[in-house]
A and B are shown apart, each in its own frame.
Chain A
Amino acid sequence: MLRVRKLSLRYPNGKLALSDFDLAVAAGEFVVVLGGNGSGKTTLLRCVTRTVKPSDGEIWLGKTDLCALEGEKLRCARLALAMIWQHASLVRRRSVLSNVASGALGRNFGLRTALGGLPKAELEAARGYLAEVGLASLADQRAGTLSGGQAQRVAIARALAQRPQVLLADEPVASLDPEAAEEIMRLLQRLARLENIAVVCVLHQVELAYAYADRVVGIRDGRMVFDLPRGEVSREAVHRLYLPEAA
């Protein structure tokens, strides 16, 4: 579903943030990316979403090379690519339901959506996605009143409303308590299985990676260190990802 080949990103100051990075994630697979601060995890996701343009390499989403796209074509390709962040990034003054349904804006363009409205069918579908993340009862509540865990689940529901083929998550549990973090990870794992979505999740919590990932990818200094099924990833290999430069 998602294939990254020889991906490199060099910043204008000469620093190499990603170097010859290869990654393939199949539909329904849940891949966790581990690495220390500044190792290139988030940069990898930003390249995949094309928020930044890679210096070199290819990003294949199905049969489309995202690196070759710009403007309207890139916008259309992004419809298949959903993203969730450490903070839920909801529009706080809108209802939970509207926030979820706004995930479907990309494929619904008309006067109604241009003026801030949402199609009834999408609002109905959004109720379903909210039920899927266990928050159906909060549909009419303002997004700004939610707890961190609830907001993150709404962000996941919004991603579902996008009907993505690939879901990218950048430290989605970093600001949550352990219980809420487990809940989010369970949800992401379930979505990968049931909705057949390729999930790439950047994490710092090694234990969560061992518990939920199908595959674990280790990254250090912008290079892939390992890409293994979770059962084959040794504690020592993970530990080495976080060692200081000199060690």
Chain B
Amino acid sequence: MSADFAAHHRERVGAQAWRRALTSAFRCVLALIGIAIIVQAFIVVQARPQDLITGVHGMADLIRRAMPPDFSQLPSTFWPTLQTIDIALFGTLVGIVIALPLALLAASNMTPSRSVYYAARGIIGFTRAVPDLVWALLFVTAVGLGPFPGGLALGVHSVGMLGRLFAETIEQMDMAPIHALELTGARRIQVFSHGIIPSILPSLLGITLYRLDENIRSSLVLGFVGAGGIGFQLLTAMNLFQYQEVSLLLIIIFVIVLGAERISAELRQRLA
């Protein structure tokens, strides 16, 4: 009996040792794969840290030429700045108007049928998957240079971003008050305006403010592809080597981004 027990014990100890060895080997392989992934990333991007050191001189020269910022250009930056903010505002508004009904169709607890659900989710996914810069290039081709293609690009991209978040908010909504309203004999539109909207409005406003903040950042870059705003002016100044104007524009961009972020955060906190 005791011989059997000893044999069984030896077997168990042996199996445990094997398991430990296998686990260690597996961890080593995982670590090697992780290192390989990191190394290939450095190779693919042709990372040359030494260039950063040798490039410090050029960078310092650029900063020297950009200083002091050319504040005499301040009045001429007013219009592009306003354009940048308005592109973001326009894009966000277009996004809300299209995203809200789309989100209702794309929310599993509201959609009239599965096919509509998948169609709405498909549109949301597609508009989100294509970056706003690509949309801007497409719209510049379609409607020409200026702030309008920028606004359209942000609008279409916002449909995807807002649509997904709106749909998720609707799906997480407490349905009991909605069913209660339905049973009072209220019509669908009344259930929507009296039940659904008041229940999710704070969340929707919070998401929208966050999106507006994001769109302001994006609208700064859209100018690089000819979609108007301060980005376009920044690109022009860089091409003309007017680095003092570039530094002024960077200061303005910094103020806009920081201001939008603070205002958005403050308003969202009040809504919570």
Contacts and interface: CB of A to CB of B under 8 A. Distances in A.
Interface of A: 49, 51, 75-76, 78-79, 81-83, 85, 87, 89-94, 98, 102-107, 109, 113-116, 155, 158, 162
A163 to B, nearest CB: 11
Given A106-B185, A113-B193, 4 more contacts: A51-B179, A104-B184, A114-B193, A158-B180
Interface in B190-207: 190, 193-195, 197-199, 201-202
A85 B199 CA distance: 19
B180 A92 contact: no
A90 B177 contact: yes
A72 to B, nearest CB: 9
Contacts of B185: 75-76, 78-79, 105-107, 162
A105 B186 contact: yes
Nearest to B194: A102
A109 B186 CA distance: 8
B180 A83 contact: yes
Given A79-B185, A83-B183, A89-B177, A113 B190 contact: yes
A78 B182 CA distance: 9
A114 B195 CA distance: 11
B179 A89 contact: yes
B272 interface: no
Contacts of B190: 105, 109, 113-114
B interface secondary structure, majority: helix
| Contact-residue size bin, chain B (C-beta under 8 Å from the other chain) | 20 to 34
A91 B199 contact: yes
B25 to A, nearest CB: 50
B216 to A, nearest CB: 28
Nearest to A159: B184
Nearest to A75: B185
A24 B213 CA distance: 61
A115 B179 contact: no
Contacts of A109: 187, 190
B183 to A, nearest CB: 5
* For the complex of A and B, 4 pairs with smallest distance between CB atoms: A106-B185, A105-B186, A116-B193, A89-B180
Interface in B150-203: 174, 176-177, 179-181, 183-187, 189-190, 193-195, 197-199, 201-202
A92 B199 contact: yes
A29 to B, nearest CB: 21
A158 B176 CA distance: 14
B184 A158 contact: yes
A83 B186 CA distance: 13
Contacts of B177: 89-92
Contacts of B181: 91, 102, 105
Contacts of A92: 174, 177, 199
